[in-house]
Amino acid sequence: MRRVVFNQKGGVGKSTITCNLAAISASKGQRTLVVDLDPQGNSSQYLLGKSADDLDGTLADFFDQTLNFKLNPRDTADFVHATPFEGLHVLASSPALEELAGKLESRYKIYKLRDALDELADDYDVVWIDTPPALNFYTRSALIAAQRCLIPFDCDDFSRRALYSLLENVDEIRADHNRELVVEGIVVNQFQPRATLPRKVVQELIDEGLPIIEPYLSASVKIKESHEQAKPMIHLDAKHKLSQEFIALHDSLARKYGT
């Protein structure tokens, strides 16, 4: 199963959700790969810590290779790096992705990520793809390569307005490039149940028939500690309320689709 975590708005928790759900997949014995397509590299830093700055082979190197014919190109597996967490690997980001995007788009390399993940299909049970906060070459590549799409939502009116446009963009990718793509659900992040506005906004989305997934993810300062220590919540404090919510969310998705 390949899942992309996508929202064109920044600061909604894409990297946090990607890495924590991936860490849970790995902890349950699934061979798990994270693909970090955001040039900011938050998922790479989260899973690899400081070692993310000194990698031999990133996604930028992989994509650059697709632009230049080589007699002996590196296999996709050569760009995969083990994390400190058993069963969890990453195709890491690089700031160089930013400068490559225009070249890749002009040369129509939009299917190269899908081809690469097809090449790795026998090595991994589940793939989680983190994306930049924009509808660009990398997010389109991810939506073309994935089977399921999760949309983080942070309970404000700006996010709600952007949500409708985002769903239209996913529908367009599905129609033009990837018939398998399904919006698996909207993940409510940093939810504050005692605040009136978040409850109102989420209920309105439910009333409109949008696929809101439960449980909602609570707002917690613990997640900042998780980022600083480069440890997903399940490895930092498995009994914490937020860890349990991530586990419940992961298990809900697994029950729905069997993986």
Give me the pLDDT at residue 11, please: 85
Give me the pLDDT at residue 257, please: 60
pLDDT in tens, the chain (259 residues): 999 999 988 889 999 999 999 999 999 999 999 999 999 999 999 999 999 998 999 999 999 999 987 768 899 999 999 999 999 999 999 999 999 999 999 999 999 999 999 999 999 999 999 999 999 999 999 999 999 999 999 877 777 888 989 999 999 999 999 999 999 999 999 888 878 888 888 999 999 999 999 999 999 999 999 999 999 999 999 999 999 999 999 999 988 765 6
CATH topology assigned to domain 2-254: Rossmann fold (3.40.50)
- Ordered by start, the domain boundaries in the chain are 2-254
Whole-number Cα distances in Å, 167 to 1, 8, 49, 71, 121: 21, 10, 33, 41, 27
Do residues 112 and 120 lie in contact, with contact meaning Cβ atoms separated by under 8 Å? no
Within 8 A by CB and 6+ apart from 205, the residues are 153, 160, 163, 186, 212
Give me the pLDDT at residue 162, please: 83
Whole-number Cα distances in Å, 62 to 31, 66, 71, 116: 21, 7, 15, 9
State both tokens at 200. 């109102």
Euclidean distance between the first and final Cα of the chain, in Å? 7
Within 8 A by CB and 6+ apart from 123, the residues are 31, 33, 77
CA dist 51 and 171 (Å) reads 38
Produce one character per residue of 47-81: b if its CB has 16 or more CB atoms within 10 Å, e if not.
bbeeebeebebbbbbbbbbbeeeeeeeeebeebbb
Q: Residues 78, 84, 87, CA angle at the centre, nearest 5°?
A: 70
Give me the pLDDT at residue 137, please: 97
Give me the pLDDT at residue 14, please: 96
Give me the pLDDT at residue 259, please: 63
